[in-house]
């Protein structure tokens, strides 16, 4: 009887952990995880600013409800607050865009009335709903989400906003610019001009009002890791090359070559490295190189940067009930989501801040959000320079020249050599087929070579939950299941004795 083969998993993020978990639970013994860094969790990373725990990477459980495996695990490990567990919270369905209580500040130092900007927000939300309905129907009016929004707003502007005064219309368009930048953060894209219109509806949301982990997202990783055997993961062990074979009936197994020169033979290798890493290193990471369709998919898919800037104050300058602060630049009525000069005006891409709640836990702590090349540029500045620019903007927008942050901490996902950005989006020209290509094992089904030598997991390989933790987790389970069913055809379950 055939025994289960030996399996190497590359990467100890949530998808690698999920794959290892499922394989071990199903009786696989020869499983190894190789992780480039000194820690598990990858893009799930909880840090500290003073006494407060802050999420450097993944922030929320998107759609915490029964269908979300991250929610179910977090509930099982008792990591959530009572509110997140209520049926009411699980039933709230906002289509991925939580209704937070906003404060709006403008570049001329005014706090704007929410009602005064509401018409622009409403138009924007309606357009996003409309776009979500597109499902590669072909014949979309333009290639990108950015172009579509601009086109529709201009048409709508002619209609709905015909009789309003020029100053109000200009303000609405500046608010649209802010909303475009917010969507750049949500999508992890430099500009919405790079996000495909046709495939936008491919991403699916789950019901449930997004919730956080009061003791940090990494608690989920720690709980899962505590159920895995000691020594399963080799840390500080970057993989240099995956050697596989497309030759017919090649019986020799694939080999994982590590940076330290070690060569590990494996029947199956599950690759979970981020798409950003694949984009940069695919040519050296695979021998022979990846088949062309897979390579083109890696090049076509989008993987941009979304970073956070945590800023702590000794007193709030926002309303007590405020959950999100928007910064509206009054010179941006051209509906822009990119800045012309990175060095001088990168900070204009900062959309504003979410407010960390409750105050008793976080004090007066804000999380700034910034996407795109401006975000990548921000990473090259010193913490002091970032603090200076953020302080200047806050003083300008509040009209209060004395506001001074106490502390600051920012993420640097683009310069993280093992991630090279934040998460995946479907760029223009992408379709569902690209996600299928991403998850396809090597060699392809048509080949007569040893099957399932290289398998692919990670958020970029989920057909509708890409860019999320639950998506990544499900792909780890999916690839484990692929191997489980492969071996169950060799090792049929014992028949019960009659
Ligand atoms: C979520 C959220 N969230 C914010 C920010 C980021 C992400 N996500 P990993 O990278 O974890 O693991 C790979 C490992 O491989 C890693 O440990 C490497 O060190 C290792 N490795 C690499 N190269 C190697 C080598 N050569 N050898 C060995 N090892 C190697 N997700 O659910 N809620 O709030 C956010 C957010 C700033 C950066 C997020 C969020 C994304 C998740 O963090 C991410 O998907 C998973 O953790 C990835 O796990 P993994 O195992 O695949 O890789 C319409 C439309 C809209 C589309 N988007 C809407 C949804 C919005 C997404 N939300 C994001 C928002 C935030 C704020």
Q: Which residue in 297, 242, 236 sits closest to 463, CA to CA? A: 297
471 inside domain: yes
217 has a pLDDT exceeding 90: yes
Domain membership of residue 251 as a residue range: 7-44+213-301+427-488
The rounded Å distance from CA 18 to ligand 1 centre is: 14
Task: Kindly state whether residues 255 and 365 are assigned to the same domain.
Answer: no
10 lines ligand 1 (CB under 6 A): yes
pLDDT value, residue 249: 67
Nearest CA to ligand 1 atom 12: 13
406 inside domain: yes
82 inside domain: no
99 has a pLDDT exceeding 90: no
Task: Kindly state whether residues 112 and 125 are assigned to the same domain.
Answer: yes
pLDDT value, residue 159: 77
pLDDT value, residue 250: 62
Q: Among the three residues 381, 410, 439, which one is the final residue of a domain in this structure?
A: 410
457 has a pLDDT exceeding 70: yes
- Which CATH number belongs to the domain containing residue 26 in this structure? 3.50.50.60
318 inside domain: yes
ipTM of the complex: 0.96
498 has a pLDDT exceeding 60: no
Alpha carbons 294 and 312: distance in angstroms, whole number:
44
Task: Please give the distance of CA 84 from its chain centroid, rounded to a whole number.
Answer: 21
The rounded Å distance from CA 434 to ligand 1 centre is: 18
Q: Among the three residues 410, 437, 464, which one is the final residue of a domain in this structure?
A: 410
35 lines ligand 1 (CB under 6 A): yes
Task: Kindly state whether residues 458 and 343 are assigned to the same domain.
Answer: no
Half-sphere exposure of 486 (CA within 13 A, CB side): 20
Task: Kindly state whether residues 310 and 196 are assigned to the same domain.
Answer: yes
Task: Kindly state whether residues 254 and 349 are assigned to the same domain.
Answer: no
Task: Kindly state whether residues 337 and 369 are assigned to the same domain.
Answer: yes
The rounded Å distance from CA 43 to ligand 1 centre is: 4
53 inside domain: no
Alpha carbons 130 and 122: distance in angstroms, whole number:
12
Nearest CA to ligand 1 atom 6: 57
Task: Kindly state whether residues 279 and 402 are assigned to the same domain.
Answer: no
Cis ω before 359 (30° cut-off from 0): no
Comparing 49-53, 265-269, 494-498, which segment has the lowest mean pLDDT? Answer: 494-498
Site to probe by mutation for ligand 1, drawn from 32, 468, 477 as the one with most ligand atoms within 8 Å of Cβ, is 468
The rounded Å distance from CA 459 to ligand 1 centre is: 7
For residue range 409-449, what is the model confidence (pLDDT) as tens digits?
999 999 999 999 999 999 999 999 999 999 999 999 888 89
Site to probe by mutation for ligand 1, drawn from 8, 12, 13 as the one with most ligand atoms within 8 Å of Cβ, is 13
78 inside domain: no
In which band, very low, low, confident or very high, does the pLDDT at 57 lie, cut at 50, 70 and 90?
very high
Alpha carbons 450 and 452: distance in angstroms, whole number:
7
Q: Among the three residues 361, 381, 410, which one is the final residue of a domain in this structure?
A: 410
* CA-only gyration radius of the chain, Å: 24
User: What's the mean pLDDT when you consider all of the chain?
Assistant: 95
467 inside domain: yes
Task: Kindly state whether residues 246 and 260 are assigned to the same domain.
Answer: yes
pLDDT value, residue 259: 98
In which band, very low, low, confident or very high, does the pLDDT at 136 lie, cut at 50, 70 and 90?
low
pLDDT value, residue 1: 39
Q: Does 289 or 494 have the greater pLDDT score?
A: 289
For residue range 198-207, what is the model confidence (pLDDT) as tens digits?
999 999 999 9
- Which CATH number belongs to the domain containing residue 129 in this structure? 3.90.660.10
137 has a pLDDT exceeding 70: no
301 lines ligand 1 (CB under 6 A): no
95 has a pLDDT exceeding 90: no
In which band, very low, low, confident or very high, does the pLDDT at 491 lie, cut at 50, 70 and 90?
low
Q: Are 330 and 338 in contact (CB under 8 A)?
A: no
458 has a pLDDT exceeding 80: yes
104 lines ligand 1 (CB under 6 A): no
Nearest CA to ligand 1 atom 31: 468
Comparing 45-54, 112-121, 154-163, which segment has the lowest mean pLDDT? Answer: 154-163
Comparing 2-6, 67-71, 97-101, 412-416, which segment has the lowest mean pLDDT? Answer: 2-6
Proportion of the chain above pLDDT 70, given as a percent = 96
Task: Kindly state whether residues 376 and 389 are assigned to the same domain.
Answer: yes
Q: Are 489 and 4 in contact (CB under 8 A)?
A: no
- H helix or E strand, kind and range, residue 310: strand 306-313
In which band, very low, low, confident or very high, does the pLDDT at 8 lie, cut at 50, 70 and 90?
very high
2 has a pLDDT exceeding 70: no
Three-state DSSP string of 376-399: HHHHHCCHHHHHHHHHHHHHHHHC
Task: Kindly state whether residues 323 and 364 are assigned to the same domain.
Answer: yes
User: How many domains does the chain fold into?
Assistant: 2
The rounded Å distance from CA 345 to ligand 1 centre is: 28
The rounded Å distance from CA 274 to ligand 1 centre is: 7
The rounded Å distance from CA 460 to ligand 1 centre is: 9
Q: Are 196 and 143 in contact (CB under 8 A)?
A: yes
276 has a pLDDT exceeding 90: yes
Task: Kindly state whether residues 192 and 317 are assigned to the same domain.
Answer: yes
- CA distance readout (Å), 387 to 162, 189, 377, 391: 42, 24, 14, 6
pLDDT value, residue 494: 54
Q: Which residue in 319, 202, 309, 272 sits closest to 472, CA to CA? A: 272
363 has a pLDDT exceeding 50: yes
Task: Please give the distance of CA 181 from its chain centroid, rounded to a whole number.
Answer: 16
pLDDT value, residue 453: 97
Q: Which residue in 286, 297, 296 sits closest to 239, CA to CA? A: 286
pLDDT value, residue 253: 83
């Amino acid at each position: 009887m055939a025994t289960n083969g030996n399996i190497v998993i590359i990467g100890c993020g949530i998808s690698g952990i999920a794959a290892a978990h499922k394989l071990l639970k199903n009786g696989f013994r020869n499983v190894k995880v190789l992780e480039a860094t000194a820690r598990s969790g990858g893009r799930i990373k909880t840090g500290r600013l003073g006494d407060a725990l802050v999420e450097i990477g993944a922030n929320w459980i998107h759609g915490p409800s029964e269908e979300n495996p991250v929610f179910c695990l977090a509930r099982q490990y008792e990591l959530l607050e009572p509110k997140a567990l209520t049926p009411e919270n699980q039933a709230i369905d906002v289509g991925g865009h939580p209704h937070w209580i906003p404060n709006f500040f403008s570049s001329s130092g005014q706090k704007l009335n929410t009602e005064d900007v509401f018409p622009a927000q409403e138009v924007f939300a309606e357009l996003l709903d409309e776009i979500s309905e597109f499902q590669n129907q072909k014949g979309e009016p333009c290639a990108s989400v950015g172009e579509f929004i601009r086109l529709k707003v201009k048409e709508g502007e002619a209609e709905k906003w015909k009789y309003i005064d020029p100053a109000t219309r200009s303000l609405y368009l500046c608010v649209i610019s802010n909303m475009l930048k917010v969507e750049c953060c949500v999508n992890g894209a430099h500009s919405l001009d790079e996000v495909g219109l046709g495939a936008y509806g491919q991403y699916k949301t789950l019901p449930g009002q997004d919730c956080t982990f009061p003791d940090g997202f990494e608690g989920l990783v720690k709980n899962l890791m505590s159920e895995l055997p000691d020594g399963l993961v080799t840390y500080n062990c970057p993989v240099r090359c995956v050697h596989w074979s497309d030759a017919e009936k090649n019986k020799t197994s694939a080999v994982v070559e590590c940076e330290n020169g070690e060569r590990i033979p494996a029947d199956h290798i599950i690759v979970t490295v981020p798409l950003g890493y694949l984009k940069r290193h695919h040519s050296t990471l695979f021998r022979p190189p990846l088949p062309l369709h897979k390579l083109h998919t890696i090049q076509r898919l989008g993987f941009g940067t979304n970073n956070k800037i945590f800023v702590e104050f000794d007193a709030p300058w926002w309303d007590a009930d405020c959950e999100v602060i928007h910064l509206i630049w009054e010179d941006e009525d051209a509906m822009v989501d990119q800045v012309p000069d990175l060095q001088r005006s990168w900070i204009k891409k900062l959309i504003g801040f979410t407010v960390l709640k409750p105050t008793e836990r976080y004090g007066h702590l804000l999380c700034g959000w910034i996407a795109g090349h401006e975000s990548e540029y921000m990473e090259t500045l010193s913490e002091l320079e970032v603090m200076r620019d953020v302080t200047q903007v806050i003083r300008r927008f509040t009209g209060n020249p004395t506001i001074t942050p106490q502390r600051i901490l920012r993420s640097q996902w683009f310069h993280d050599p093992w991630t090279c950005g934040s998460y995946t989006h479907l760029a223009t020209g992408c379709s569902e087929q690209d996600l299928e290509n991403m998850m396809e094992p090597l060699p392809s089904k048509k080949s007569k070579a040893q099957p399932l030598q290289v398998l692919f997991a990670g958020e970029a390989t989920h057909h509708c939950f890409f860019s999320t933790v639950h998506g990544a987790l499900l792909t780890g389970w999916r690839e484990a299941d692929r191997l489980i069913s492969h071996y169950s055809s060799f090792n049929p379950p014992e028949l019960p004795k009659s």
